[in-house]
Structure formats: structure tokens, C-alpha cells
A and B are shown apart, each in its own frame.
Chain A
């Protein structure tokens, strides 16, 4: 039986940063988004958005996590963990 490649090689952090920023900006139009790479698969995210107005910190983070869920689910997910998430209103 030939060897199978089970998952694609992890994308370069810079590429992943771009994808994450785009996904968050799409979900929260007008938001200022900054994503930094930590260790392998680890990221830090800072988002400033009017959409956070009147929401609890958990609800604010849920909006961001919801936007990037597709990069965080499954065993071979390119985003392993968000080490730090800061959400603010402008």
C-alpha cells in the first residue's frame, strides 16, 4: 500500500495571518483587525469593531471565533489555538 498524505502541510504563518484577517473583516465589516503569529499554529488576535457595542466580552469573542471557525475545527486545523484575543469598541 502506498503512503498516503493525510493532511496538507501547514500553511506559512504569513499566509494564515492574511486568511484570518480576511475572514474576520468579512464577518465584521469596518473592523480594525490585527493578527500576529505565535508558535506553530498559535495566533494572537486584536479586533476593534462597532459590532461589539453593548456585548459582553464572551459575546465579542464569539463573533471573532465564529468568523474563523473553519480554520480551527478538526484534528489538522491550521489554527491550533488563539493565545490572546483582545476585542474593543472604537
Chain B
């Protein structure tokens, strides 16, 4: 099978667009085949973000990637431009730790993260010692940076971190996501409520309408999504914005995780929620337009009606 130059170049640029690129059937959120789902499950455990390419949506890619890689099956994983293999090989290399080395997420002996436990949290944890019943206190952080605290047995490879007289156990993957984390607590009538502030968690950044106007002006590749209703769009709209519907959501899911995504609504509330959703999916360059289209009318373009 010959691969035409256009498809070859397209594949090369996709592989170059992110450090980790998975060619799969379906999307990271909805894999369409068990082998693809298995590899997504493994990568989700290891990485907050990576790029997936749905070959079912593109027949040229579906056949092209097989020729490109000299590999007859999907999924196919590329890391740093190198083909690592399909489902079987990825499973094996995950078990052996080789995959973690390739992805740069292994934690060595000096991999213990810096964690701060505040006085309030330390005191609250000591108050729970009766519940511990000799088990270790664990902190787990999943690929979407949802954290959990629980008592349980330790496994080989867990890292121990001490702060403020309290020892936390973290599995190596959680540990890689925890550096700089602060564990705080406040007292409530129901008992202590723990609060975790993790600087590694994906975040939505705020963009003023002036910055947005400058970005549009500069011609920078920007994806501006309008999360308001069609009725609101009919009333007023920012030139170049796209309606955020299901099609748009599907298209965003296929974008590289470092794509510049900007969301706006009327005043900035709904778009903040939408932006948080995409940040949680692993997008690293997600912005909310502060003040929304209302601020745009006031500060940038008075021709856009206020409502």
C-alpha cells in the first residue's frame, strides 16, 4: 500500500503536535473499541493530557496510519515521535514500567513531592487516628486531578511524605501530580472538611476583552466559543466566535491538548463552567473571557448591542 504525500505529511504533523499521540477508534471520552479503551485507560492513569485521533472519523487516516507505522491494527501510540506499539505491547510495557519511563512519569527515589499540611489539617487528621486502626493515610490524585484521602494498606512502590507530623502515602502516579500541594482543613458541625489546593491541577485562566481583541487582531490561532443560547447569539455576537453546540464539543475533543481555547458567554459565568469542563479533560491552554460579551460591548465594540 502506498501512502500519498498529503496523508503522510498530515500524519507527521499530528505526531509532532503533542508529545503523546494515540491513534484510536473513537475518542478519549468515548472509545469505540475495547483495545482503544484499554490504552486510554492506561494513559488516563499516567497522564493528565494527551492527544487522541479518531481514525473512524477519517478513512484516509485509518488506512494511512497502518502503512505509516507498518502496523496493521488500531490503536497505535506515539510518544515523542516514536511508535511505541499497539494495545498488547502497551499493556506489557505498562506492567513492566517501561511505558512510564517513555512517558517520563516514573518517580525515582528522589521523587517524593513537596506537600504542605496546615496546622488545622494536621490536627484534624490526628483526630481521625481512631478510624485509621493502624492503616496508613493515603492521598490519591487521578488523571483529572480529583483528590481523595483514605485509610488503607500500603503497596510496594508507595511514597511516604511527612509534613507537620503527619505521614501521607502516595502511589507513584499520584506523587508525580502532587508537588507543591497544600492540604488544609476547616471545622464544620459535621466534622473536619479537608481542602486540597494543587498547583498542578489544570486551571482556567482569565482573559480580559482587551486581551481577547488583541489576540484576534494579531491573527493568532484562537478557538473562540460562545456558550450562550442561539437566541442570545441572534441578539448580539462577537465576530469570529463559534456557537458551542454538540458538533463544536466533538471538534474540540479532537484538538491537540495545547490548543488555545477561549470561552465567552454574557457575563462570564456559564463560560467559566464550560472552560473548567475542558480543563478537566486535559486542555492546558483554556481561558474564560472576563465580563463576557457585555464587557466586549462596553470596552471594545459599542456596535454590539447590550441586552
* Residues in chain A within 8 A of chain B (CB atoms): 57-58, 61-63, 65-66, 69-70, 72-74, 79, 81-82
Which residue of the partner chain A has the closest CB to B63?
Answer: A73
> With A65-B72, A66-B70, A69-B70 in contact, is A74–B84 under 8 Å at CB?
no
Interchain CB contact (< 8 A) of B1 among A58, A61, A69, A81 = A69
Known contacts A58-B83, A70-B1; A65/B70 CB under 8 A? yes
Residues of B within 8 A of A63 (CB): 70
Contact of B67 with A73 in the complex, beta carbons under 8 Å: yes
Does B193 count as interface, using CB distance less than 8 angstroms?
A: no
Which residues from chain A contact B63 at a C-beta distance below 8 Å? 73-74
Q: Scan B71-114; emit 1 where CB is below 8 A from any A CB, else 0.
A: 11100000000011100010000000000000000000000000
Query: Range of interface residues on chain B?
Result: 10 to 19
Sampled A-B contacts (29; CB under 8 Å):
A57-B89, A58-B83, A58-B84, A58-B85, A61-B71, A62-B69, A62-B70, A62-B71, A62-B83, A63-B70, A65-B71, A65-B72, A66-B70, A69-B67, A69-B70, A69-B72, A70-B1, A72-B66, A72-B72, A73-B1, A73-B63, A73-B66, A73-B67, A73-B72, A74-B63, A79-B72, A81-B72, A81-B73, A82-B72
CB-defined contacts of A62 to chain B, threshold 8 Å: 69-71, 83
CA distance A72 to B67 in the complex (A): 10
B97 smallest CB distance to A (angstroms)? 16
How many whole Å from B83's CB to the nearest CB in chain A?
A: 7
